[in-house]
Amino acid sequence: MRRSERLVVAAAALGAVLGWEALVRRGWIDGGLAPAPSVIAPALVALLTRPEVLTSLGVTAWEILASFMIAVPVGFFIGFTLAEVPFLGGLLRPLVNFLFGVPKSIFLPVFILVFGVTITQKIAFGVFTTLFVVITGGIAAVESVPRELLTVSRVYGATRWQMVREIYLPAMAPILLESARLGMIFNITAVLLCEIYGARDGIGYRIAAWGENVQMPQLYAALLVVAAGAVAVNEALRVVEARIGRWRSVP
């Protein structure tokens, strides 16, 4: 983004906050359901200084991270296998495609029955949801590798391992990162859904509780924290993606 664009975006955001504040003060928006920014801000500060809230954030962060660290390598491995082994691909790819379209949330009760209301259950459900995105990305990445480049590397005497390191990996890297980033969005959604549905700790659990008790300032403050965290993770992955995929872009 250029400097001028950034200024416009920042001004628009500031305008929205000020406009919201004004609308609540004039009574055009019900401050009970949507408290003014001036009410949310102190709640946010209070929230971030309460140790039990910080613990909850830590629990959620751990669940998201653990699920991601499992789902990404497992998903890529399955994706590569399905792309490179025609027999398995023919057998299982339709299944993956069907399951990709099924909303994963309907399986949540099953996960509770199997794992109980535990952290393991959140991680398992996160992995389950993320896996399909990552598998599909892994398959697409392998298929994006230009065959001609493999021929070139054969002419110049590449071994199998050299083909993997010099052609496959660099060619696939941008798509792999992109699907990891999309997977992360699904992953965060899945873990928070789990926590809101039923949990003993975690920020989703607190959001659900504040919502039920109509503690609106706390609720909105927590939403801000979660949104900021998700945006930060997504943007960080996007920066890496852009850097690694620099060769794809036409200036």
Partner 1 sequence: MIPTVGGAKALLSLRSVSHEFVADGLRVPALEDVDLDVPDGQFLAVVGPSGCGKSTLLSLIAGLRRPSRGTVFCGGEPVTAPMPRKIGMVFQEANLLPWLSAIDNVAFPLKLRGVPARQRREAAARMLALTGLAGFEDRLPHQLSGGMKQRVAIARGLVQDPAVLLMDEPFASLDEQTRMVLGDELLRIWSETRKTVVFVTHSLSEAVYLADRVVVLSARPGRIVDDIEVNLPRPRTFSLTSSEHFGTLRERIWRHIRSGERR
Binding site for partner 1 (CB under 8 A): 146, 148-149, 151-158, 162, 166-167, 170-171, 246-251
DSSP 12-28: HHHHHHHHHHHHHHTTS
Give the tokens for residue 31: 């401050």
Give the tokens for residue 28: 């055009």
Task: Decide: residue 105, CB within 10 A, 0-12 exposed, 13-18 middle, 19+ buried.
Answer: middle
| Cα–Cα distance measured from residue 78 to residue 100, given in angstroms and rounded to the nearest whole number | 14
| Cα–Cα distance measured from residue 35 to residue 52, given in angstroms and rounded to the nearest whole number | 23
| Minimum distance, C-beta of residue 180 to partner 1, in the bound complex (Å) | 18
Closer residue to partner 1 in complex, CB, 106/250: 250
Of 197, 184, 188, whose CA–CA distance to 112 is shortest?
Answer: 197
| Cα–Cα distance measured from residue 67 to residue 122, given in angstroms and rounded to the nearest whole number | 8
Closer residue to partner 1 in complex, CB, 28/247: 247
Listed in sequence order, the residues at least 6 apart from 229 whose beta carbon sits closer than 8 Å to its beta carbon are 61
Give the tokens for residue 209: 């509780």
Q: Which helix (H) or strand (E) holds 159?
A: none
Give the tokens for residue 26: 């004039």
| Minimum distance, C-beta of residue 167 to partner 1, in the bound complex (Å) | 7
Closer residue to partner 1 in complex, CB, 238/243: 243
Closer residue to partner 1 in complex, CB, 99/152: 152
| Cα–Cα distance measured from residue 88 to residue 36, given in angstroms and rounded to the nearest whole number | 56
| Minimum distance, C-beta of residue 137 to partner 1, in the bound complex (Å) | 19
| Minimum distance, C-beta of residue 177 to partner 1, in the bound complex (Å) | 13
| Minimum distance, C-beta of residue 182 to partner 1, in the bound complex (Å) | 22
| Minimum distance, C-beta of residue 86 to partner 1, in the bound complex (Å) | 16
Closer residue to partner 1 in complex, CB, 59/175: 175
Closer residue to partner 1 in complex, CB, 120/162: 162
